[in-house]
């Protein structure tokens, strides 16, 4: 999958692209079932909210075949490689849940801000993919983006160790307000199987989910192989140290697996 000139221009302007229904309902449903199984496991890679419900499962591509295939799917690897101009490795892989009623906030932040400060990633030659495994609506904790905020570079941030179970380098309200007054604030929503690509510098967040409808989104953080991290301060399953270039699989790699498991 290659991006058009119009898409490249849109990404440069806004810092993100949205592809509704890029993956089929069967592919999304299969991965959702695998995520729910992982959330039931007692593993250190699964982080939980303060009340015990799953918040995120790290590195699922290293212990689950479906997510391994998703991590090398050409529908995401090819356009990211096009944008970053070269081979990619997986810096981080998360399966994030927003449980019905209990899914907590992800504060305003830039992902590259964390990767620079904690992992010593040299440049923001990295970006995120988000694949919806549920329908994401205005009600169940969608991602919030400030379009164009990737243009301002790395923003000063504070290390929040208290708001949620996961430590995060977060932006203060004044800075978020300044950026939003300039670029607005959007919440891309769509059916399960939709995909977002967004810059590692894009300022984003997500609100708590107090609706009765949960949602699961897979986040893949892809980095140019020459831009790999230099510091190993975090556990390997949070910030990966395998810088081997990802070789894209066939386009039917996930649909074949979903069909075989359903048979």
| Partners of 18 in the β-ladder | 196
Helix (H, G, I), strand (E, B) or coil at 216: strand
Residue with tokens 């929040």: 160
CA dist., res. 254 & res. 78, Å (int): 16
The set of residues, in sequence order, having a beta carbon less than 8 Å from that of 211 and lying 6+ positions away, is 100, 101, 137, 139, 140, 141
pLDDT band of 231, cuts 50, 70, 90? very high
Name the residue with higher pLDDT: 91 or 107.
Answer: 91
Decide if 189 contacts 137 (C-beta within 8 A): yes
pLDDT band of 71, cuts 50, 70, 90? very high
Residue with tokens 């199984």: 37
pLDDT band of 155, cuts 50, 70, 90? confident
Q: Which fold is adopted by the domain 5-262?
A: Jelly Rolls (2.60.120)
The pTM of the full predicted model, rounded to 2 decimals, is 0.92
Helix ranges (DSSP H) in the chain: 5-14, 25-39, 65-70, 74-84, 111-119, 173-183, 253-262
Residue with tokens 């290293």: 62
pLDDT of 185 above 70: yes
Decide if 200 contacts 220 (C-beta within 8 A): no
Instruction: Locate 238 and state its tokens.
Output: 């949070």
CA dist., res. 213 & res. 205, Å (int): 19
pLDDT of 157 above 90: no
Domain extent listing, the chain: 5-262
């Amino acid at each position: 999958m290659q991006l058009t000139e119009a898409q490249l221009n849109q990404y440069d302007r806004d810092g993100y692209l949205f592809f509704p229904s890029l993956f089929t309902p069967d592919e999304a449903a299969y991965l959702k079932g695998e995520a729910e199984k992982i959330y039931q496991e007692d593993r250190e890679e699964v982080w939980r909210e303060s009340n015990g419900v799953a918040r995120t499962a790290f590195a699922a591509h290293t212990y689950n075949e479906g997510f391994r295939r998703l991590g090398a799917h050409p529908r995401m690897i090819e356009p990211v490689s096009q944008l970053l101009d070269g081979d990619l490795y997986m810096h981080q892989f998360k399966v994030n849940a927003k449980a019905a009623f209990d899914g907590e906030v992800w504060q305003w932040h830039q992902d590259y801000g964390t990767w620079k400060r904690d992992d010593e990633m040299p440049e923001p030659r990295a970006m995120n993919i988000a694949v919806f495994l549920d329908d994401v609506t205005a009600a169940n904790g969608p991602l919030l983006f400030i379009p164009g905020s990737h243009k301002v570079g790395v923003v000063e941030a504070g290390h929040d160790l208290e708001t949620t179970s996961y430590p995060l380098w977060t932006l203060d309200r004044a800075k978020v307000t300044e950026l939003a007054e300039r670029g607005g604030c959007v919440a891309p929503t769509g059916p399960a199987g939709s995909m977002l690509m967004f810059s590692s510098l894009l300022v984003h967040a997500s609100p708590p989910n107090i609706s009765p409808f949960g949602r699961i989104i897979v986040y893949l953080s892809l980095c140019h192989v020459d831009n790999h991290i230099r510091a190993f301060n975090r556990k390997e399953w949070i910030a990966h140290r395998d810088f081997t270039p990802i070789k894209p699989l066939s386009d039917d790699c996930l649909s074949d697996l979903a069909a075989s498991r359903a048979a």
